Amino acid sequence: MSKLLIHFTKGGNEEDAYQNFKSIISQRKIFSSRDKIRSGASCVCFTEAPLPALYNGLLNPSFYSQYSAFGFALTKQHVFELGGRPVIYQPDCEFEQLSSENRWRHVRYEPPSIDFTWEREWRIQTCELSISPETTKLVVPNASWAQRLVDEHGDEQECRTIQYSQIMDSLLAQQYEEPWRWVVVNLGT
C-alpha cells in the first residue's frame, strides 16, 4: 500500500499536460471536476497506486492515455484529514442504496467490461484543493522534466527581478525572488 495519493494532470499531449501542471503549481490549486461522477458532485480525484507501478500500468499511454505523468502527491493521511475517502466500487443499481452524503464516492463496477478498481481511486468532495510545498510533492515523468521545471522557475525569478529593478534598487528587487521549495518525485520513465 502506498502512503501517497497522486492527482495526475491531463493534456492533449505531453507539453499540454506540462503547461497544465505548471498552471496548477502557479495557482497553488487543483480544481475539481464533475466528469464521470454520477452524483454530479465536484471532486478532486487521486490514485493510491504505488509509484513504481505507475508507468507500466496507470500511465501507460498505450492503454490509459487519459492521464499524463505529471501530478501532485499528497499523503493519504492529509487527504483523509481534508475529507478524502476511497471510492466505493459497486454496480450502478446499488447507487441509490448509498446515503446522499456518500454518493460522491460511487464508481460503477460491473466486471468484466467495467472495472476501474486498478485505479485505487480516492476523492475529496470540494471545488478546489489548495497545495503547497509543505503538503504536496510534484510528480514528473523523468529527470529532464524535473530539471526543466526548476530551470524555468529560476528564469521566471530572474525576469521578475529585472522588472522590479526598473522601479527599485536591484538589490532590493532580488529580495523578492522566491526560492525553489518543492520536492520533485521523478517517475524515471
For the stretch 6-49, pLDDT in tens is: 999 988 899 999 999 999 999 999 999 887 788 888 999 999 98
pLDDT tens digits, 57-72:
555 555 555 778 899 9
CA distance 158 to 11: 28
189 pLDDT higher than 70: no
Give the number of other Cβ atoms within 10 Å of residue 124's Cβ.
23
Angle, vertex CA 17, rays to CA 12 and CA 23, nearest 5: 130
Q: Report pLDDT digits (tens) over 154-180.
A: 888 888 877 878 788 888 777 777 889
